[in-house]
């Protein structure tokens, strides 16, 4: 056990990201901006991030050691290594704690010049036992932002650019699924309270937490307001955003209670995890929240009794995804948790923002009420899907309405407000993921992402730069993964795995249907679950008992995504229902392999 450290005097100096960017991040800017609420009517792209050099106190690095290193497992070894590297660089380094991913959080001491910071980074980079070293960056919220207000929730039901949520509710409502909202915490609201379960306050820095203490089991949001230039010169002032509560309402506001708004997955539970406070929040706290939410262990934090199958992170900022954050996300996904993130509000390529650019996440762009990319939304090849994020510059009611609080600083009376932003788009997809997991509990994060993309519809409007697979369609997606197709008929399933050879002959998986009369329906549902590392190589056919074939999917060199998890509709009314049906799959190009996990027919 380590000897307790003597607490250092509070400091008000953030690592100058510019000082380490050249050495550490190849010149990538790392001032972290939230996808959080800008003033109503103002494009979120205009919500400028506070200068990195004048934010809240922090002088830390996140150091990931290779698994074979003693420092990867021993706190005393990591502490000794920090002291040794400090001596080499002529600085006072101090191991602070172990993150949930196993990385070490290292304090750099006070008043380091750019050259001194670079020397410290170089010491770690030259160590062959160090896998990565990244700054502990500051993050902020991403948004500009029977139920009596349901008629105002165009984002759920409008034909033009709504997400077509009501049609999914006959199949799933989110029951049995917990969604972790990693954000500003939760302020009490009667339209959410019944769906809130225990969370945690992960903010370790009291200057950020402004609740009088560090980490604890109370994720209550005391407000994140700040005075003029308190978060950096030129940042102005801001009232409290109650951002996490707005996000949570979109996902799981109580529904059919004759008040307020409807949540997308209104029978799901929300576990609020507080990581954002005054001026934002640090990567190190967010990393531990990701780890804990998904069932991982974080030193000093009790085990999570409400493990989340979906995580929503409507936060982020400039700079590509770091190894430290990626490691936490990979571990969470490995534990079976789907991670949904906001693409960002800078009207720029999301590849240059984190966690939007991380792998193994569903990165969400925002659309406006006409179905075009919202003016503020980030875009690009790392974006997976688009969802309603609103645009209040064209009218307040064109934003996203959800639960809030009227307090300008501390909590006051509960309220409902319109926000806009990719922070508002992301919880639409988190809510959809909860519906999917409720409909089919065995779905993996990869299958959830694949089904959302495959079932998306083309944007009703335009998106210059790329908005992923299109606009998410909740009804089609939930029907696809449940195999219901809206028919409510009898389902026949094959769960025998069949390997698909690379650039080889077609393989077949049979299902025998018996006990039916007459022909198959004109809307026969064919549910397919195929794992494959480049689905564009695949040709998929349904083979009827008499040998007739129905093409479900053709090969496409432009379809580079993984896996096929969707439901196809076939007019099989000319076919006798009884007999042996087959799913025929062929990989027609080289370099990728896969397997048929399962498939089903719903009559």
The pLDDT, as a whole number, for residue 123 is 92
Three-class SS state of 491:
strand
- 491-602: CATH, from 1.10.1040.10, 3.20.20.70, 1.10.3470.10, 2.60.120.260: 2.60.120.260
Q: Which of 221, 387, 217 is nearest to 304 (CA)?
A: 217
For the question of whether the overall pTM of this predicted structure is more than 0.85, the answer is no
| CATH topology identical between 150-483 and 491-602 | no
**H helical segments located in 378-444:** 422-439
Query: Which pair of tokens denotes residue 234?
Result: 């030129």
DSSP letters along 297-322, please? --TTSPPPSS--SEEEE-EEEESPPP
Active-site choice (94, 183, 285, 537): 183
Domain 150-483 sits in CATH 3.30.720.200: no
Tell me how many degrees the CA angle 315-316-320 measures, rounded to the nearest 5.
155
Helix (H) or strand (E) holding 559: none
Query: Which pair of tokens denotes residue 99?
Result: 């993150």
Distance CA 363, CA 357 (A): 8
Distance CA 537, CA 515 (A): 36
Query: pLDDT digit string (tens) for 280-337?
Result: 999 999 999 999 999 999 999 999 999 999 999 999 988 999 999 999 999 999 999 9
Q: Which residues contact 275 (CB under 8 A, 6 or more apart)?
A: 139, 182, 183, 202, 203, 281, 282, 285, 286, 289, 315
Alpha carbon separation from 136 to 58, 106, 226, 285 (Å, rounded): 8, 9, 22, 9
Q: Do 62 and 356 form a contact (C-beta atoms < 8 A)? A: no
Q: What is the mean pLDDT of each run of 10 residues along the chain (603 residues)?
A: 36 33 28 37 30 43 94 95 91 92 89 76 93 85 70 95 92 94 97 97 94 94 95 90 98 95 97 96 97 97 96 94 96 97 97 96 98 97 97 96 97 97 98 95 92 92 94 92 57 88 94 85 86 90 95 86 85 90 95 89 86
In sequence order, the β-bridge partners of residue 366 are: 387
The pLDDT, as a whole number, for residue 38 is 36
Q: Which of 359, 211, 200, 222 is nearest to 291 (CA)?
A: 200
Annotated catalytic, 423? yes
Q: Do 345 and 45 form a contact (C-beta atoms < 8 A)? A: yes
End-to-end CA distance of the chain: 63
Q: Which residues contact 21 (CB under 8 A, 6 or more apart)?
A: 27, 28, 29, 30
Annotated catalytic, 151? no
The pLDDT, as a whole number, for residue 311 is 98
Domain boundaries, the chain: 60-135, 150-483, 491-602
The pLDDT, as a whole number, for residue 510 is 95
Residue 305: count other Cβ atoms within 10 Å of its Cβ.
Answer: 9
Task: Print burial letters for 518-538: b (CB count within 10 Å at least 16), e (below 16).
Answer: eebbebbbbbbbbbbebbbbb
Burial grade of 299 (CB within 10 A; 0-12, 13-18, 19 or more)? exposed
Active-site choice (189, 243, 428, 532): 243
The pLDDT, as a whole number, for residue 111 is 62
Q: At what angle do helices 474-482 and 445-454 cross, to 10 degrees?
A: 130
The pLDDT, as a whole number, for residue 483 is 58
Q: Which of 252, 273, 269 is nearest to 261 (CA)?
A: 252
Three-class SS state of 498:
strand
Alpha carbon separation from 500 to 91, 481, 505, 506, 521 (Å, rounded): 57, 21, 8, 8, 29
Distance CA 454, CA 447 (A): 10
Q: At what angle do helices 114-125 and 17-24 cross, to 10 degrees?
A: 30
Active-site choice (21, 54, 318, 423): 423
Q: Do 560 and 582 form a contact (C-beta atoms < 8 A)? A: no
Three-class SS state of 117:
helix
Please state the length of the chain: 603
Annotated catalytic, 412? no
Q: Which residues contact 253 (CB under 8 A, 6 or more apart)?
A: 147, 191, 192, 195, 260, 261, 262, 263, 266, 402, 403
Phi, psi of 311 (to 5 degrees): -115, 135
Query: Which pair of tokens denotes residue 84?
Result: 């040794």
Three-class SS state of 430:
helix
């Amino acid at each position: 056990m380590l000897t307790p450290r003597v607490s250092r005097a509070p400091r008000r100096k953030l690592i100058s990201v510019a000082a380490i960017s050249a050495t550490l991040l190849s010149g990538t800017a790392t001032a972290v901006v939230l996808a959080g609420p800008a003033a109503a009517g103002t494009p979120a792209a205009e919500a400028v991030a506070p200068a990195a050099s004048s934010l809240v106190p922090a002088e830390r690095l996140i150091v990931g050691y290779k698994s074979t290193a003693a420092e990867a497992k021993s706190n005393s070894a990591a502490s000794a290594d920090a002291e040794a590297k400090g001596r080499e660089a002529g600085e006072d380094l101090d191991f602070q704690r172990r993150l949930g991913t196993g990385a070490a959080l290292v304090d750099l001491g006070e008043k380091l010049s750019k050259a001194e910071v670079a020397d410290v980074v170089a010491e770690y980079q030259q160590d062959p036992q160090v896998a990565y070293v990244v700054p502990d960056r500051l993050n902020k919220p991403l948004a500009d932002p029977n139920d009596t207000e349901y008629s105002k929730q165009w984002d759920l039901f409008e034909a033009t650019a709504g997400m077509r949520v009501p049609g999914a509710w006959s199949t799933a409502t989110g029951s049995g699924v917990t969604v972790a909202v990693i954000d500003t915490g939760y302020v009490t609201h009667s339209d959410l309270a019944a769906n809130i379960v225990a969370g945690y306050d992960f903010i370790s820095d009291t200057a950020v937490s402004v609740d009088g203490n560090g980490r604890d089991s109370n994720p209550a949001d005391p407000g994140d307001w700040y005075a003029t230039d308190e978060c950096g010169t030129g940042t102005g002032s801001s009232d409290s955003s109650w951002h996490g509560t707005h996000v949570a309402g979109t996902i799981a506001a109580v529904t059919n209670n004759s008040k307020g708004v409807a949540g997308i997955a209104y029978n799901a539970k929300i576990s609020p995890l507080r990581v954002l406070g005054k001026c934002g929040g640090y990567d190190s706290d967010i990393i531990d929240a990701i780890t804990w939410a998904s069932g991982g262990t974080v030193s000093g934090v009790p085990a999570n009794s409400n493990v989340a199958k979906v995580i929503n992170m409507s936060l982020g900022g400039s700079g590509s995804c770091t190894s430290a954050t990626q490691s936490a996300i990979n571990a969470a996904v490995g534990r079976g948790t789907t991670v949904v993130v906001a693409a960002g509000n800078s009207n720029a390529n999301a590849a240059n923002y984190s966690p939007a650019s991380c792998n193994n996440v569903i990165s969400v762009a925002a659309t406006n009420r006409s179905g075009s990319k919202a003016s503020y939304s980030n875009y690009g090849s790392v974006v997976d899907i688009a969802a309603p994020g609103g645009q209040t510059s064209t009218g307040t009611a064109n934003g996203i309405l959800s639960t809030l609080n009227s307090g300008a600083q501390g909590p006051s009376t509960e309220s409902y407000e319109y926000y806009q932003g990719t922070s508002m788009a992301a919880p639409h997809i988190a809510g959809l993921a909860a519906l999917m997991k409720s409909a089919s509990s065995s779905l993996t994060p990869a299958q959830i992402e694949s089904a959302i993309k495959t079932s998306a519809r083309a944007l009703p409007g335009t998106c210059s730069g790329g908005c992923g697979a299109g606009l998410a369609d909740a009804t089609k997606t939930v029907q696809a993964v449940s195999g219901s197709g809206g028919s409510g008929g009898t389902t026949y399933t094959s769960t025998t795995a069949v390997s698909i050879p690379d650039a080889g002959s077609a393989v077949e998986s049979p299902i025998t249907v018996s006990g039916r009369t007459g022909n198959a329906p004109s809307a026969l549902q064919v549910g397919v679950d195929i794992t494959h590392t480049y689905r564009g190589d695949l040709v998929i056919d349904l083979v009827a008992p008499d040998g007739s074939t129905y093409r479900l999917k053709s090969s496409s060199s432009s379809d580079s995504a993984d896996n096929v998890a969707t439901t196809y509709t076939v007019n099989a009314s000319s076919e006798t229902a009884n007999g042996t049906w087959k799913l025929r799959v062929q990989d027609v190009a080289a370099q990728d392999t896969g397997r048929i996990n399962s498939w089903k027919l719903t009559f």
